[in-house]
Structure 1
Amino acid sequence: MNQTMDVKECAEYLHVHPDTIYTMVRQKELPHFRVRSRIFFTKYRVDQWIADQDTMTAI
């Protein structure tokens, strides 16, 4: 089951400040979706993004 996170939960999950999450969303660096004006993330997509970042640094 896909766990959905809000900005605060995603920031805690990634061990960064919520402002960092907002910046990454603005720059379209982190996969997210919106419901009205709220920003959400799925744990599955964030985990995929982390794996992709790990792969990119290994190159």
Structure 2
Amino acid sequence: MRIVMTVRELSELLGVSLDSIYSMVKENQIPHVRIRRRILFHREIIENWLRSSN
């Protein structure tokens, strides 16, 4: 299992559109990192974020 996820992988995992993920990133609603032009999500941080937002 990879440590980081792309926008597409995260949208599939969460069952939401790519536009939703990009909006959440733009509004800093979801933990992410930018490496040059790429937006990446650390799998463990996203899992903890999902657990804490319930």
Normalised by the length of structure 1, the TM-score is 0.84
**CA contact 1:2–1:44 (8 Å) conserved in 2:** no
Sequence identity, in percent? 37
For the aligned residues, what is the CA RMSD? Answer: 1.3
Secondary structure of the equivalent of 2:51?
A: helix
Shift of 1:23: 0.3
Secondary structure class of the residue paired with 1:51: helix
Instruction: State the match for 2:23 in structure 1.
Output: 23
**Separation in structure 1 between the aligned mates of residue 33 and residue 2 of structure 2, nearest angstrom:** 13
Using structure 2 for the length normalisation, give the TM-score: 0.91
Residues paired across the two proteins, number: 54
Runs of 4+ aligned residues of structure 1 deviating over 4 Å after TM superposition are: none
Aligned pairs for 1:8-47 within 5 A: 8-47=8-47
Q: Distance in 2 between matches of 1:48 and 1:39?
A: 18
Q: Return the letter of the residue paired with 2:11.
A: A
- Return the index of the structure with the highest Cα Rg: 1
Q: What residue ranges of structure 1 are gaps of 5+ in the alignment?
A: 55-59
> Which structure has more helix as a fraction of its residues?
1
- Matches of 2:7 and 2:49 in 1, distance apart? 16
